[in-house]
Amino acid sequence: MPTRSQKVAILARAGVAVPTVPTVPTFPSRDVSDRERRRLESNPTPQNGPQEDAQHDEAVVDWNKQVDDLFAAYVMSRAARSLCEAKEAQQLSQLRNANAQLGQDDLKAGHHADGPVAAGPEG
């Protein structure tokens, strides 16, 4: 089973629009004062509260599900397309075999594609 990052890469190569990975919020979602915002901006390590972490975790779980659902749909469509192609190939093979058999039957019966086979110079 491919990893989630492999699934994303496969989907992207196939041209499927994959949602972006949720990012960790850099600031608390609540309103903060200008002074607090400047302090947070100067701090290289974001200080997220439990609520922000829980929201991010939930967003990641939702994203994982979306990727898994997209990948499952992609795999099913590929399988369905492969089955259709195999059925078409089988039908084409049967038609070719039937056509070849008809051609052999015509030759045995003395018929040619342009009409009956002419008798030889024997008379």
Domain layout of the chain by residue ranges: 49-109
Beta partners for residue 116, in sequence order: 111
pLDDT in tens, the chain (123 residues): 899 999 999 999 999 999 999 887 655 555 666 666 666 566 655 556 677 778 888 999 999 999 999 999 999 999 999 999 999 999 999 999 988 888 787 777 776 656 555 555 654
- Find all residues with CB under 8 Å of 71, minimum gap 6, and list them: 2, 7, 10, 11
- Find all residues with CB under 8 Å of 39, minimum gap 6, and list them: none
Q: For 71, left (φ over 0), alpha (ψ -120 to 50), or beta?
A: alpha
CA-based nearest residue to 56, from 27, 26, 22: 22
Beta pairing class for 111-112 and 115-116: antiparallel
